[in-house]
Structure 1
Amino acid sequence: MSRRGLPLFITVSVLWGVPYLLISVALEGLGPVGVVAGRVALGALVLLPVAWRRGLPRLLRERWRPLLLLAVVEVAAPFTLIAVGERTVSSGLAGVLIATEPLFILALGLLWGKRGRLARGAWAGAALGFLGVVVLLGVAGAGKGAVLVSAAAACYAVGALLMHRLFRDVPPLTVTAGMLATASVPLLAVVAATEPAPQVTARVLLAVIGLGTACTAGGFTAFFALVSAEGPARAAFITYVAPVVAVSAGVLVLSEPVTARTVVGTLLVLAGAGLAARRPSATSTARLTMSPPSATPAGVCGGSRLPSGTERNEKGAP
C-alpha cells in the first residue's frame, strides 16, 4: 500500500474492529436500543455538516422512502441485532460472525442478480464459512445471541445490495449521513418509550461517544478515504482484519476467553469469506451482477460492503 493508504488501512481496521468491545461496555448501563440510538445519533451529528454541503437536503426531500428502507436494513436492524446478541455473545465472537457477510452476499447475488459464472472455490468458501458458524455456535455462551449477530450480517448484505441499486449516483458519505439521521429519530423514540432510565457511568458514556464519533462517523470517513487512495479491491481486506482486531480487543480489554473451538471457527469463517469474496478471473465471459464485497461494518461499525463499482463497504459497519 501507499504511504497514505497504509495508515488509513490501520485506522479503519481498528475503528471497525473495536465497536463490538465498545458495545459490550455500553450495555453495562444502557439497553440494546439505547446503545444503538446513541451511536447512530452521534454519528449523524458528526457527518451532517459535511453531507449537508454534498446534497443531503435534496436526498432527504426526493428519496426519503428508499432512504428509510436503507436506514432500517443497514442501520437500525443490524445494529440492534448485534447489541441484543452481545448480551450473551462475546465481543470478539460478534466481530467474527459479522465477517460472514460475504457468504450472504454470494447467496443474494444468485437470488437477485444475473446468474453468471462464479469464481473458482466460491461454493467451497460458502461451505467453509457455514461450517465455521456451526463451530462457533457451540462456543460457550453463544446460543441465540450468535444467531442474532449472524442475522445482522445478513442485513448488511441486503443493505449493500439496496445501496448499490438505489444510490449509485449519490456520494457514499451523503447516503451514510442520511440513513443515520433517518434512523436516529425512531430509535430515540423507541428508547424513550420502552427502555428504563439508563445507568450512565463515565465508562458507559465514553463507550457510546467512541461508538458514535470514532467508529461510526470516523470509520466511514476513513474508509471512503482508503477506497479513494487504494481502490475497493485492496480496501476489501478490511473484511478479514477487523475480526482479528475484535477478538484481540476482547481478550486484552475484557479478558474474554479464547478456546480452541473459537480459533478453529474463526479460521473457517475467515477462510470461507475469503473464498466467497473472490471474483471470477478476467477470462470469465460472465459474472454476477452482485459480486462480493468491495470491502464492511461493520458494524459497524460495524461494517457493510458493496459490490464492485461502488465506494462503500460493508458490516457493516457493526
Structure 2
Amino acid sequence: MMKIWNSAVGLLIVTGTLLGLTLPFGKVAGEAGVPPVIWAMLISVGAGTVLYLAMLARKERLGLNAGHLRYYAISAAISYAIPNMITLSAMPHLGAGYMGIMYTLSPMFTLILSVIFGVRKPNALGMAGIVVGFLGALLVATTRGEAGFPASLTWVGIGILLPIFLAAGNIYRSWDWPKGAGTTELAVGSHLAAGIMLLVVAVMTGNLPALAMLAEVPALSIAQILSSAGMFVFFFRLQVVGGPVYLSQISYVAAAIAIISGTLLLGESYVFLTWFGAVIILAGVVLTTKAQTS
C-alpha cells in the first residue's frame, strides 16, 4: 500500500479506475430514474462524509480559514459539482463510452490552460499535440454519441465542456493549494462544499424529493459512495506526487473503464469514426504528455 501511495504510476491506475466506475454507475442510476443532480450530490456528500469520519477517527481537523474556504468553494464548483452534472446529464444522450472519450481531452486542455496562465511555456511538440487532439475531438464530435442514437449538437457541446472544467480544476488545485493542508482535508472540504451547492440546485429544480429513489438502488449507491471516497483520497495524493498535468492522465484509465463497461456491460456501440477519432485524440495526448518533459 505504501508503494502505491508514493508511486505516481500506481496512484494513476487506482485513481483512474475508481473514477471510471462513476460513468457506468451513473448511467445505471439514471436508467433507474435517479436525477443527475441527486446522483452527483450522492457522490460528493457520500465521499465527503466517509472521508470526514476518517479524519475524525485520526483526530484531524478541517481547515476553515479564508484560504481553505476559498479553495473548497472554487474547487468544488469547477472540479466536482459542474463536471459531475455535465457527465450525468449528457451520458444518457451520448453514452458512457463517449463521455469516457471526453475525459481523454483533459490533458490537452490542461496544457492549453497551463500555457495561457503562464504555468508552462509553449513548445512545438505541445502545440502539435493540441492540433492533433483537436482534430480527433472534432471527428468524435461529428459522430454524436452511440451508433443509431445520434444526440443533438447541443449535447455534444455540453459533453465537450467536461474536459475544459476538468483541466481548469487541475490547474487551480495546484495553484491555490493551501499551505500545510493535507490531501484528505482538501477532499473533504471540497466535496462537502460541492454537496451543498448541489443541494441548492436540487431544491431550486424541485428534484429534492427524488432523494428517496436512492433507496431503490441501495447496492449501487453504496458502491458509488465507497468508490468515490477511495478515489478522492488517491486523487489528491496524485496531485501532490505527480502534479496537475500528470494528474490529468487519469482520464486515460477512466476512459478505458468507461468504454469497456459501456460496450461489454451496458450494450453500447459506436461507429468506426468514433473509435478512429479516439485513436487520434490518444495520439495528440501522447504528444502533449511528452511535451511536458521536453
In which range does the TM-score fall when normalised by the shorter chain?
Answer: 0.7 to 0.9
1:243, distance to aligned residue in structure 2 (A): 0.9
Is the alpha carbon distance of 1:161 and 1:235 closer, same or farther for their aligned partners in structure 2, counting shifts above 3 Å? closer
1:175, distance to aligned residue in structure 2 (A): 1.0
Q: What is the rounded CA distance, in whole Å, between the counterparts of 1:207 and 1:60 in structure 2? A: 36
Bigger mean CA offset, 67-76 vs 198-207 = 198-207
Residue of 143, 155, 158 corresponding to 1:139? 143
Where 1:258 maps in the other structure, the secondary structure is coil
Alignment partner, residue 43 of structure 2: 39
Alignment partner, residue 293 of structure 1: none
Residue of 51, 69, 76 corresponding to 2:74? 69
Alignment of 1:1-318 (within 5 A): 4=4, 10-28=13-31, 29-51=33-55, 56-59=61-64, 63-113=68-118, 116-118=121-123, 120-140=124-144, 141-142=150-151, 143-167=153-177, 169=179, 170-196=181-207, 197-198=209-210, 200=213, 204-214=217-227, 216-223=228-235, 238-281=250-293
Is the alpha carbon distance of 1:46 and 1:163 closer, same or farther for their aligned partners in structure 2, counting shifts above 3 Å? same
Where 1:14 maps in the other structure, the secondary structure is helix
Contact 2:40 2:88 in 1 (8 A): yes
Aligned-pair identity (%): 24
Q: Larger helix proportion, structure 1 or 2?
A: 2
Q: What is the rounded CA distance, in whole Å, between the counterparts of 2:59 and 2:259 in structure 1? A: 36
Q: What is the rounded CA distance, in whole Å, between the counterparts of 2:15 and 2:173 in structure 1? A: 21
Contact 2:104 2:249 in 1 (8 A): no
Letter in 1 for 2:136: G
Letter in 2 for 1:212: I
Letter in 2 for 1:268: I
Is the alpha carbon distance of 1:56 and 1:150 closer, same or farther for their aligned partners in structure 2, counting shifts above 3 Å? farther
Letter in 2 for 1:15: L
1:208-248 Cα distance to aligned partner (Å, 9 max, x none): 3322321x2111224456788x8569877533232122101
Contact 2:71 2:190 in 1 (8 A): no
Where 2:73 maps in the other structure, the secondary structure is helix
1:115, distance to aligned residue in structure 2 (A): 5.9
1:270-294 Cα distance to aligned partner (Å, 9 max, x none): 2212212334556xxxxxxxxxxxx
Contact 1:87 1:145 in 2 (8 A): no
Letter in 2 for 1:87: P
Contact 2:83 2:165 in 1 (8 A): yes
Alignment partner, residue 308 of structure 1: none
Larger RCO: Structure 1 or Structure 2 (Cα < 8 Å, ≥ 6 residues apart)? 2
Contact 1:99 1:153 in 2 (8 A): yes
Alignment partner, residue 147 of structure 2: none
1:203, distance to aligned residue in structure 2 (A): 6.8
Q: What is the rounded CA distance, in whole Å, between the counterparts of 2:282 and 2:66 in structure 1? A: 40
Contact 2:107 2:289 in 1 (8 A): yes
Where 2:290 maps in the other structure, the secondary structure is coil
Q: What is the rounded CA distance, in whole Å, between the counterparts of 2:170 and 2:158 in structure 1? A: 19
Gaps of 5+ in 1: 283-318
Give the alignment's TM-score, normalised by structure 1.
0.76
Is the alpha carbon distance of 1:127 and 1:156 closer, same or farther for their aligned partners in structure 2, counting shifts above 3 Å? same
Q: What is the rounded CA distance, in whole Å, between the counterparts of 1:201 and 1:59 in structure 2? A: 31
1:33, distance to aligned residue in structure 2 (A): 0.8
Gaps of 5+ in 2: 145-149
Q: What is the rounded CA distance, in whole Å, between the counterparts of 1:150 and 1:206 in structure 2? A: 31
The CA RMSD over aligned residues, in Å, is 3.0
